Amino acid sequence: MKTFKNVMSWVLPIIVGLLIAMVIRHFVFSMVRVDGPSMEPNLENNERVAVVKTAKVKRLSVVVFNAYHVDPDATSANVKYVKRVIGMPGDTVSSKNGQLYVNGKKISQNFISQYERTQGTGNWNLWSLSNKYSWHVKTTKVPKHDYFVLGDHRSVSNDGRYWGFVPQKKVIGVVKVPFWDTDATKRHNVNALGQ
């Protein structure tokens, strides 16, 4: 009996600790790996970032979402994308000469260079994109309960321009660059831009 008590005295705290860690990972935050160059220069391929599942999604937040049944090319339920929210529900979004307009107002894109703003962005609005790429929903505004997302590296990003909107229920959480990352500009461009 004494041996059982001794074993339980160290096994029980380990089990409780593992249960707490699983609850935190499932409901509060987890770590993910960025796959590909679509969020450069702010997030690099293979970079590990935190995903805060309780954070509120705002315009210019960087989010992780399950791309299965969002992007037709995402053929597995395990495919997750990292993109920046440009359009919130009810917003109009357009692009002209490298500038993004939300509800008719130019939004600051200081988080990427002029080159990244103009290469691959083009001139479009939600209606023209929805017709050109045959989205399921053809509209001039971001639908209720959806987001419109873009990658920061526009010329290589497979994003909302091609397949449409991300349902809110598909969003896993808001990306945060960990405090130990030494690049303060990158931390600001990812962590502090949601408005």
Give the closest residue to 102 by CA, choosing from 162, 156, 148.
148
Catalytic residue among 30, 53, 56, 83: 83
Instruction: Give phi and psi for 117, each to the nearest 5.
Output: -70, -35
127, amino acid identity: W
- Catalytic-residue membership of 38: yes
- Catalytic site residue from 2, 5, 30, 38: 38
Q: 47 near 173, Cβ under 8 Å?
A: no
- 94 part of the active site: no
Length of the chain: 195
Residue 3 dihedral angles phi and psi, to the nearest 5°: -65, -40
Nearest to 85 by CA among 177, 168, 156, 186: 168
Residue 134 DSSP one-character state: T
What residues pair up with 70 in beta bridges, in sequence order? none
Catalytic residues: 38, 83
